[in-house]
Chain A
Amino acid sequence: MKIKQNFMLREIAGSWLVVPLGERVVDFNGIITLSETGAFLWEILEKGAGVDELVNQLLLEYDVDETTARADVVEFTSALEEGALLEL
């Protein structure tokens, strides 16, 4: 899975958000707000990663058990898929 091109992840005043760039505004005219964990996963997904890799990265970075991490990753990537933000 990989985030589609032409999105920019930004941290502004303590908030994480994603802004569409250029032609991406045609199909996504808005802003995506993310939690800190969401931003962490987004950054990995910009380069491309599978569910297992995302779970492993979460386990390395955060004090969380695998079941919770996997559930969070699945929920996050499902939301991205639903928003048509991923290249599968």
Chain B
Amino acid sequence: MKEFHQSLQKAAFEKGIPVYGGFELTTRCNLSCRMCYVKGAGAGKSNHELTANQWVELGRAARDGGALAVFLTGGEPLIRDDFKEIYEAFCRLGLRLTLFTNGTLINEELAKWLSQIPPAAVDITLYGASETTYRNLCGSGEAFHKAMGGLELLLKNNITTRIKTTVVRSNVHDYQAVQTIALSYGLEFLPSNLIHGNRITGIKNINDERLSPGEIYSFDLANLEQGVCSPIDLENIKGQYKDSPAMFCLAGKCSFFINWLGRLVPCNLFEKPYTVPLDVGFKQAWDLLRHQVTQIPGLENCKGCELRAFCPVCPGRLYLETGKFDGHSEYVCLLAKEKERMMRNINL
């Protein structure tokens, strides 16, 4: 099946078919995490959210355009009163659905309903392993118990579930404990410690919370050391990537994101460029977006940089860091340097 997904991705990339997508049903959330990249995007504008019918229309049009594997996200998608209406329609479109949630709004009734028409997977993000951590990071200690309760209800109802975590300064001490929770239930564990800026306020509110580049990769190294890692031909990798295009990911080529306003963007990092599928139809909106992605300025500062192979730079990330698609971000450069250092350590 892995081979099938690889060949599908290759064909979709070459043909420009949007097989992967995300639907941001809302920016509202019952938590208030300090590093949230969405927080504030819909402040005072929740009446601008799309209706359930509009989301279903978008889902159907994306499916007709070739979408296969999509996720429903927020904010917290379960906060919508009409979530069930949207979800029930989506799960009959012929899509592979993943639901992203913080788990805190999952109760007996919701879990039972979901078990009758389950998604391919539910990804629950755990922000820590204690009330204290949740209180400090998410603004609610009680949310820890609710998230764990939600997780247990999903498992009791045989719903495929994965555990995500976002590692920041306020919860880094809980990392092992969160991993232990995932392992104790035999669940796939998907940690992330690379935090990007908020879509509205950039990095000014997250600088205190995100780990330094050195911390991020010492953290990764510690985890890698628990496994087996083959030596890596660093010089060869450097040569391969130093002239990579500005955007060499799938975004805007075979993957898309529709934000809470119904705007089609390359991925969740982008506020622009965007097109509006509800106005012009999904196909035209997708074709326009694909073209607009090619117009995003190249990364002049990064031209010929040998660290590109280790660098998470992309125009979307740079925009959130600097306000420009091609700005210079010391943080991103340091990430590349630290990653190279980590790779060298693996080779030792």
Q: Quick one: which of B155-170 are within 8 Å of A by CB?
A: 158, 160
Contact A15 B94 (CB under 8 A): no
In the complex, what's the smallest C-beta–C-beta distance from A50 to chain B, in angstroms? 27
The CA-CA distance from A30 to B88 in the complex, in Å, is: 18
The CA-CA distance from A63 to B236 in the complex, in Å, is: 49
Nearest residue, chain A, Cβ from B95:
A19
Instruction: For A12, list chain B residues within 8 Å (CB).
Output: 8, 12, 17, 19, 66, 68
In the complex, what's the smallest C-beta–C-beta distance from A42 to chain B, in angstroms? 14
Contact B12 A13 (CB under 8 A): yes
Stretch of B113-121, B210-218, B265-273, B297-305 at the chain-chain interface: B113-121
Contact B118 A33 (CB under 8 A): no
A26-B116 contact, Cβ under 8 Å, with A13-B19, A15-B4: yes
Nearest residue, chain A, Cβ from B63:
A10
Contact with B along A1-36 (1 / 0, CB 8 A): 000000010101111010101110110011101000
Contact B8 A13 (CB under 8 A): yes
Contact A13 B91 (CB under 8 A): no
In the complex, what's the smallest C-beta–C-beta distance from A35 to chain B, in angstroms? 12
Among B11, B12, B94, max chain A CB count under 10 A is at B94
In the complex, what's the smallest C-beta–C-beta distance from A2 to chain B, in angstroms? 19
Instruction: For B222, list chain A residues within 8 Å (CB).
Output: none
What count of chain A residues pass the 8 Å CB interface test? Answer: 17
Contact A33 B4 (CB under 8 A): yes
Q: Quick one: which of B1-31 are within 8 Å of A by CB?
A: 1, 4, 7-8, 11-12, 15, 17, 19
A13-B118 contact, Cβ under 8 Å, with A21-B91, A21-B94, A33-B4: no
Nearest residue, chain B, Cβ from A19:
B94
Q: Quick one: which of B49-82 are within 8 Å of A by CB?
A: 66, 68
The CA-CA distance from A29 to B158 in the complex, in Å, is: 11
The CA-CA distance from A19 to B15 in the complex, in Å, is: 21
The CA-CA distance from A14 to B10 in the complex, in Å, is: 11
For the residues of B in contact with A, the DSSP-based class is: loop
Instruction: For A22, list chain B residues within 8 Å (CB).
Output: 88, 91-92, 117
Contact B12 A26 (CB under 8 A): no
In the complex, whether B96 has a CB less than 8 A from a CB of chain A is yes
Instruction: For A14, list chain B residues within 8 Å (CB).
Output: 11, 15
In the complex, what's the smallest C-beta–C-beta distance from A31 to chain B, in angstroms? 7
Contact B8 A25 (CB under 8 A): no
Instruction: For B116, list chain A residues within 8 Å (CB).
Output: 23, 26
Nearest residue, chain A, Cβ from B118:
A25
The 8 Å CB contact of A21, one of B1, B7, B11, B92, is B92
Contact A26 B118 (CB under 8 A): yes
A25-B91 contact, Cβ under 8 Å, with A12-B68, A31-B1: yes
Contact B115 A15 (CB under 8 A): no
Instruction: For A29, list chain B residues within 8 Å (CB).
Output: 118, 120, 160
Contact with A along B280-296 (1 / 0, CB 8 A): 00000000000000000
In the complex, what's the smallest C-beta–C-beta distance from A30 to chain B, in angstroms? 8
The CA-CA distance from A18 to B308 in the complex, in Å, is: 39
The CA-CA distance from A21 to B63 in the complex, in Å, is: 13
A19-B68 contact, Cβ under 8 Å, with A25-B119, A25-B120: yes
Give the 9 A-B residue pairs with the shortest CB-CB distance, closest first.
Answer: A8-B94, A13-B11, A13-B12, A22-B117, A19-B94, A13-B17, A25-B118, A21-B92, A22-B91
List 24 A-B pairs, Cβ < 8 Å. A8-B94, A12-B17, A12-B19, A12-B66, A13-B11, A13-B15, A13-B19, A14-B15, A15-B4, A15-B7, A15-B8, A19-B95, A21-B92, A21-B93, A22-B91, A23-B117, A25-B91, A25-B118, A25-B119, A25-B120, A26-B158, A29-B120, A31-B4, A33-B1
